[in-house]
């Protein structure tokens, strides 16, 4: 299956940890297509948002198993990418996604 750059990135992961990584370490946490790999994610980000990607880490989370009557059902596989942007580049997808950003303590 050949993916184009619009199919690779599914959206941002909205969580407190993702927000802290974005603010403090200039990293993005993204949901990606299950068949996407590191070069695909880097290329898609660079072409879509005009940023330079330094490093991409991929995390695959297998679906949880649960019991439904007499059958065991497995949930869907999810894939996340943690992308480190090069120095001088920044991208804030959480504010663009309309996420409720926690107030920073003074």
Domain regions of the chain by residue span: 5-86
Q: Which residues make Cβ contacts (< 8 Å) with residue 65, sequence separation at least 6?
A: 72, 73, 74, 75
Q: For residue range 47-75, list pLDDT tens digits in order.
A: 999 999 999 999 999 999 999 999 999 99
CATH superfamily of 5-86: RRM (RNA recognition motif) domain (3.30.70.330)
* Ramachandran category for residue 88: left, alpha or beta (phi over 0 → left; psi -120 to 50 → alpha): left
Q: Which residues make Cβ contacts (< 8 Å) with residue 1, sequence separation at least 6?
A: 35
pLDDT computed for residue 106 by the predictor: 40
Output DSSP code: residue 79. Answer: E
Can you give the pLDDT of all 106 residues of the chain as single tens digits? 688 999 999 999 989 999 899 999 999 999 999 999 999 999 999 999 999 999 999 999 999 999 999 999 999 999 999 999 999 998 887 666 555 555 554 4
Please give the Cα distance from 8 to 39 (Å, whole number): 11
Q: At 48, which helix (H) or strand (E)? A: helix 38-49
């Amino acid at each position: 299956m050949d993916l184009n750059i619009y199919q690779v990135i599914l959206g941002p992961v909205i969580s407190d940890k993702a927000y802290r990584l974005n603010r403090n370490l200039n990293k993005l946490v993204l949901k990606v297509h299950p068949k996407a790999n590191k070069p695909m994610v880097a290329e898609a980000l660079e072409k879509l948002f005009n940023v330079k990607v330094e490093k991409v880490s991929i995390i695959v989370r297998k679906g949880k198993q649960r019991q439904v009557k007499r059958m065991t059902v497995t949930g869907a596989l999810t894939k996340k990418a943690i992308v480190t942007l090069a120095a001088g580049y920044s991208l804030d997808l959480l504010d663009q996604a309309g996420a409720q950003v926690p107030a920073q303590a003074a």
